[in-house]
């Protein structure tokens, strides 16, 4: 009986702790415009604030997402342009990020995840095939045309593919964290530093040593 009681209290404690977990801390003021000039002497969960009396409309606006990204910078054919506290200091502590996603014809934003954020993506131009995989390995996919949106739950592997072979595509994404983070599965696995042991990759993916070497070379590892 005592053992069951201890288990119940442990379960209750974990439930209470998890219930308090949030993507980003709530702000304690109307806004906290990031101080991008004064050098910091210690780390913040975000960025330090300027004096609110010095706030200007320019702190809350940016044109960074109006400029197309270079989709030739990687072998997958995509580019992501993010808002951050440097180009949009007014978003500091607000718990969100915006991203412009440019995808070349037949380009791919390969399977990746954001450990600290959910994401909603709206197709602005072109034809997209998007999807995510849940923890039971069930795949949810959808074709998006301009004006249509799709949501990716937090921390789940997802992708965006431009299945138009002639024209580029553009999407706009909103993420529920000031610092969502991103891990491309293939790069994290095959181009890590230091490298993951070949034996692990061979067994984990049921491939040969030669396959590992070829994949690493193709990904620039």
Same domain, residue pair 92 and 172: yes
pLDDT at 5: 62
Query: Does residue 129 sit within a domain?
Result: yes
Query: Does residue 166 sit within a domain?
Result: yes
Same domain, residue pair 77 and 133: yes
Strands (E), 75-189: 78-82, 97-103, 108-113, 119-125, 128-133, 139-144, 149-152, 158-162, 169-175, 183-184
pLDDT-derived band at 31 (thresholds 50, 70, 90) equals confident
Same domain, residue pair 175 and 209: no
- Contact by Cβ (8 Å): 171, 114: no
Q: Could you give the percent of the chain with pLDDT greater than 90?
A: 76
Q: What is the pTM of this model?
A: 0.83
Query: Does residue 21 sit within a domain?
Result: no
Same domain, residue pair 169 and 111: yes
Number of domains the chain contains: 2
Same domain, residue pair 196 and 153: no
Same domain, residue pair 168 and 205: no
DSSP element (H, E) containing 56: none
User: Cα torsion for 182, 185, 191, 192, to the nearest 10°?
Assistant: 60
Query: Does residue 16 sit within a domain?
Result: no
Query: Does residue 7 sit within a domain?
Result: no
Same domain, residue pair 100 and 200: no
Same domain, residue pair 56 and 117: yes
CATH number of the domain encompassing residue 102 = 2.60.120.10
Query: Does residue 147 sit within a domain?
Result: yes
Query: Does residue 75 sit within a domain?
Result: yes
Q: 194: cis peptide before it, omega within 30°? A: yes
Same domain, residue pair 171 and 99: yes
What does the pLDDT look like over 178-206, one tens digit per residue? 999 999 999 999 999 999 999 999 999 99
CA angle 203, 205, 209 (to 5 degrees): 65
Same domain, residue pair 131 and 202: no
Same domain, residue pair 210 and 117: no
- Contact by Cβ (8 Å): 167, 142: no
**What number is the average pLDDT over the span 217-221?**
89
Query: Does residue 9 sit within a domain?
Result: no
- Which residue segment(s) compose the domain that 176 sits in? 52-181
d(C-alpha 161, C-alpha 143), whole Å = 9
pLDDT-derived band at 32 (thresholds 50, 70, 90) equals confident
pLDDT at 6: 63
Q: Which residues contact 53 (CB under 8 A, 6 or more apart)?
A: none
Quick check: 18 pLDDT over 90? no
Q: Could you give the percent of the chain with pLDDT greater than 70?
A: 84
Quick check: 16 pLDDT over 70? no
């Amino acid at each position: 009986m005592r053992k069951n009681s201890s288990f119940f209290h442990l379960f209750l404690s974990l439930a209470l702790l998890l219930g308090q977990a949030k993507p980003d801390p709530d702000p304690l003021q109307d806004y906290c415009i990031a101080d991008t000039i004064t050098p910091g002497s210690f780390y913040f969960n975000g960025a330090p604030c300027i004096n609110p009396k010095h706030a200007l409309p320019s702190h809350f606006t940016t044109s960074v997402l109006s400029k197309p990204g270079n989709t030739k910078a990687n072998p997958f054919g995509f580019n992501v342009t993010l808002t951050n506290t440097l180009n949009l200091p007014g978003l500091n502590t607000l718990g969100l990020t915006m991203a412009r996603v440019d995808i070349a014809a037949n380009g791919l934003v390969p399977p990746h995840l954001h450990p600290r954020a959910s994401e909603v993506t709206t197709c602005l131009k072109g034809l997209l095939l998007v999807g995510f995989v849940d923890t039971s390995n069930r795949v949810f996919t959808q074709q998006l045309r301009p004006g249509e949106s799709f949501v990716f739950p937090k921390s789940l592997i997802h992708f965006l593919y431009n299945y138009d072979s002639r024209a580029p595509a553009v999407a706009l994404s909103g993420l529920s964290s000031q610092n969502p983070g991103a891990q491309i599965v293939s790069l994290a696995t095959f181009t890590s530093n230091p490298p993951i042991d070949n034996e692990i990759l061979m067994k984990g993916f049921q491939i040969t040593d030669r396959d590992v070497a070829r994949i690493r070379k193709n990904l620039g590892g």
